[in-house]
Structure 1
Amino acid sequence: MASAYPARVAAYVSNSGSNTVTVVDTQLERSVETVPVGAGPIGIDAAPDGEAVYVANERDGTMSVIDTAGHRVTATVLVGRQPFDVEVSPDGNRVYVPVFGENKLVVVDTATRRIVARIALPQLPHSVVAGPNDRVYVSSNGARSVSVVDARTLRVVATVPVGVFPAQMALAADAGRLYVANTGSDTVTVVDTLTNRPVRTLPVGDAPRGVALSPDEGRLYVANTGSGTVTVLNTATGRKPATVRVGGDPTGVAVTPDGSRVYVTNEATGAVTVIDAAALRVHTTVRTGHRPEAVAVTPR
């Protein structure tokens, strides 16, 4: 049965403890749907056209494909042991899934839902981002590095040293800068993607894990799991205009397309904290499922 929910901007939250995805209406600022997916959903990403959402299910080794019009799973793809994240390519033709338990990057064709490549990576790949520069970046917890994969040849072409236990990443729209949250170093590494070298290390809160850029790329929002805060960084100066206390072991962060709201998952409280980006304070809290891990906002 098709959902009555209108086609507008929504936040999708992966709930690893309840095996569901919560759909949050970003205009009404409340949950409107709950979609059952695989076991242990963790990484999540929306297609560029907003018509599908992809979910990495860590405990059963699958990726769920959610149709955003009907809010139902239309396909389930077996990808490997412990998929940890998921990223849709800018053209929407591929999905990249780092498989934590196999040290691989799995590449899935979105049209056929078939695996087209399994790329060997350094130890414990965690997160992935893909840019318009035909490059895919994968952080590896066990190697303290980011692997650079050529999206055309599907080969690793460079390795960038970063901090301890690199986790989630954010990539500038022109793919010129990559921001890497280092959970074990309490820092964010800024990487120049033209040279594949780190150019800056910025201190943040305790155990940073999630990162997201504002639409104008003037700010970087960093979710600090250990301190229950979100650090706001000025990307030009590296300074911190604010630190927002959200509580509840924040893990994932995403920004609405207009930049007005920042959605932060709170694993311990089973909720998403919504930050007012203009005031840099907590605006509201929306209940989700058990242990929300990551959040993705549709572009429309």
Structure 2
Amino acid sequence: MVYMISLLLLLCSALFSGLTLGLMSLDVHDLRRKATLKDKQARLVLPIRSRGNLLLTTLLLGNVAVNAILAIFLGSIASGVLAGVLATGLIFLFGEIIPQAVISRHALAFGARTSLIVRVLMILFYPIAGPIAWGLDRLLGEELPSVYSRHELLKVIEEHEDSHQSDIDADEERIIKGALTYSNKMVGDVMTPRVVVMLLEENQPLTPAFLKQLREAGHSRYPVYSEGSKDILGILYVKDLLGRKLTGKTVKAFVDKTVYGVHASSKLDDVLNAFIKTRHHLFIVLNNEDTLVGLISVEDIIEEIVGVEIVDEFDQHIDMRELAKRRK
């Protein structure tokens, strides 16, 4: 009988010890997120874990009480120093180390299965644990959420993609990383440099030879400047010429005169917001002297986010910045 009671007490000690480490290692805000996503285990554990100090006090009181009673029963089995060594060894190995190692690996699952038991214990121990938990709540305040820096979040995403248990694939990882890092880049880092930008004069006739020249240049849009000046007055989109009668027409007849300019030092997230606000998808890029240094399109920013080059049916060159380097 004594042996059975001692074994039962040892199991209770293991449960208290394992749940103390396991449940307290669960992040309340993480549980709340999972609960909103209808995770059944998180929904069971969240009500008890959200009262962290009461939960901690209850489990520790239960563990201390069980270990004290266990030591008394083991004292009836052995005596003197042997009883102390036996109690210490059993509690240390089977009441602390093993249960904590096992339950901490499966904390949410164990917590969900024992949530009803823990609720009952919190009620039973409340006369003692309640005031202590109240004092800790007032002294320490609420638990702080786990907030990651940008670099930490990137590392977490990388670890998720590498894990066999994650449903994030390499493409999703690349896009998420791009979305988190593109705002650190400037327009000058991703724009199409002026050296590879073909400027058109507004009075240029749309002759077959000129149209052939446009096709060979391999771009889908061209900045247009006014006669006698290098000021950009608009953008010519090649698609606007398709299926149109061009005989006797000049570039000026098809120019979109809505022109927006940004500086090369502008951040990409600010420029993307400008694209969205203006509902335009091509800006000219200026330096500090307001001189044209290149072009930037919404596709250039999207490329930085998704990590791949976007080429339409009119583009013959994939990487315009690489082409600009070769032409320098």
Return the TM-score normalized by structure 1.
0.22
| Bigger CA radius of gyration | 2
TM-score by length of 2: 0.21
Higher strand share: 1
